[in-house]
Structure 1
């Protein structure tokens, strides 16, 4: 059912790795588990998975640093699975680019449901043969969905995370149209409703001259967001 998608579970607790792996495998996923960040990084360079499930309390590195590395350098889904239940940790994880945040202890079946939802949402963001094989030009920017690369008028490049790509590509496909939060996020990945605000802030930092006073992506309070510019697609 899941086309044997690969998921990496990165947690220093072997019991957690085993429990999560067995649960996901029952639903058709291929799973590899790692107890250190270094092991996971080596495997990701060799074979990037569809999704990484990451504990923040790793023995050899800060889990947040691993989240940042994955979101900055790789096009993979990222789900944090952690015993840290504070709002600042959740906000930081999402600011770094994570797609979802689950707190321990957790119900294994709920984790699977949220994995399914997250992967469907990422799939639904592309590829679209009408757009994602082409480059979008808007304002003084170019965006290449194939490489998740944003290029400014002066040639500066930055790479979007998977979560940032989801938001931007949906806005690019519907310029000058107000899109609700549900339309932008697709299926809800969890109850932490600040996630879209955090991710939109990250996108704005990469495309706006003044992210605090955005001109390209504007907020329509109580409704959603709108991309204010025309968009053209070129080979």
Structure 2
């Protein structure tokens, strides 16, 4: 069985070395890059399982790159950054990152976070990559929502994880704790804020009335329920 591939984008050679050593010791394959241009060129040839991305890059805006990765790649995106402010963390998660780790970091924590990202419903389920519900088709292989008229709307990897979680447990209460356990990442205000943002974006893409959504219902103080009728293809 091929080991998961983790790509590392950081302009600091020592950071790349520490991460490479820790990940390869843990059984992962790695590729490391110091420039976004080289990193993006490599993505045209291979799709990694997880991308580790620093925000302070010399040749591009790290947050803009994270947003593109979240929308265009099938990989989980984890930010590793020296920016420790809460707003930077929240912004990164809002733009589609799956997790946020601040420098300095414990390499063992990075390995644990990556393993948590790979232990998602997407890797555990026996379902296919296409689900139909209430006039919509979710293509998880292409990260696209297709309407009855054939119009397509892209969704990010992070949004897709939340959507798949709902579609695999329709008409059942899913608590915040269950979401954190299933989707990984560090619990806390930033995780809760990220979930709020992802669910809000999914509702928008599904044409939901934010004041009275039909599909993704908030049960205040308890969690969420997805009320659609789901069929997997």
TM-score by length of 2: 0.90
- Partner of 2:201, secondary structure, is helix
**Structure 1 residue 187: deviation in Å?**
5.4
CA contact (8 A) 2:71 2:157 kept: no
CA contact (8 A) 1:126 1:132 kept: no
Match of 2:209 in 1: 210
- Partner of 2:137, secondary structure, is strand
Match of 1:97 in 2: 96
- Partner of 1:193, secondary structure, is helix
Is 1:37 the counterpart of 2:33 in the alignment? no
- Partner of 1:125, secondary structure, is helix
The more displaced of 68-77 and 140-149 is 140-149
Q: How many angstroms apart in 1 are the aligned matches of 2:149 and 2:2?
A: 41
Equivalence map 1:192-231=2 (5 Å): 192-194=190-192, 195-211=194-210, 213-231=212-230
Unaligned runs of 5+ residues in structure 1 are none
Unaligned runs of 5+ residues in structure 2 are none
CA contact (8 A) 2:8 2:53 kept: yes
> Structure 1: which 4+ aligned runs deviate by more than 6 Å?
none
* CA pair 188-6 structure 1, distance change in 2 beyond 3 A: closer
Match of 2:169 in 1: 174
Q: How many angstroms apart in 1 are the aligned matches of 2:191 and 2:125?
A: 27
Q: How many angstroms apart in 2 are the aligned matches of 1:89 and 1:176?
A: 35
Q: 1:132 aligns with which of 121, 128, 144?
A: 128
Number of residues of Structure 1 aligned to a counterpart in Structure 2: 229
- Partner of 1:202, secondary structure, is helix
- Partner of 1:102, secondary structure, is strand
Q: CA RMSD in A?
A: 1.9
